[in-house]
Amino acid sequence: MEPHPESTPPASGRIDGWREFQDRFRATLAMASTSPGECLWVDADFAHWPLGERAVTDLLQQWMRQHGGASVTVLAGQYDALQRAHPRWLSWRQTWSHRVSCWLASDEIVADLRPMFIWRDGQGDRAGIRMIDSVTAVGQWTTDPAVLSLWRADFDAYLQRSSEGMPCTTLGL
């Protein structure tokens, strides 16, 4: 999945299975890491994401170091599974907490959250992946700006009904 030049029509395709979702996530993240931009991630629990892989956190680390404008916004229904499954990502996030914001979805929208990743740069929404059915692991990837705009509107609506979540540090008494 590569960003399309203006003369090439946007591409879209089907995702069948969590392995393909993970492969598309890695590929989209690799594209995003080449320029300053923003990654938007949504999931109820991030259990199927490859966030704990060394290659993923190394890529995120490189992206943040090379591009001062890079940022990640994470929206979850709960963070317990992410904290248990992805300690390497948590450590990376602590280092970059000033550029990684985590949000907690309100209880009323948690059931609606499906895994979604949108990459935006200075030219707008560039690529995305979204699971349509988390049970059967069927989804879609796209570089179509019209589709990505709709996904972005969904993300913005979710974020408006969310609050900041998963503090980077725990303050003790």
Share of the chain above pLDDT 90, in %: 86
Mean pLDDT of 113-136: 94
Q: Does residue 150 fall inside a structural domain?
A: yes
Count of domains observed in the chain: 1
Residue 89, classified by CB atoms within 10 Å of its CB into exposed (0-12), middle (13-18) or buried (19+), is buried
pTM of the model: 0.90
Q: Does residue 120 fall inside a structural domain?
A: yes
Q: What is the CATH number of the domain that holds 54?
A: 3.30.870
Given a cut of 80, is residue 2 above it in pLDDT?
no
Q: Does residue 1 fall inside a structural domain?
A: no
Helix/strand/coil for 158: helix
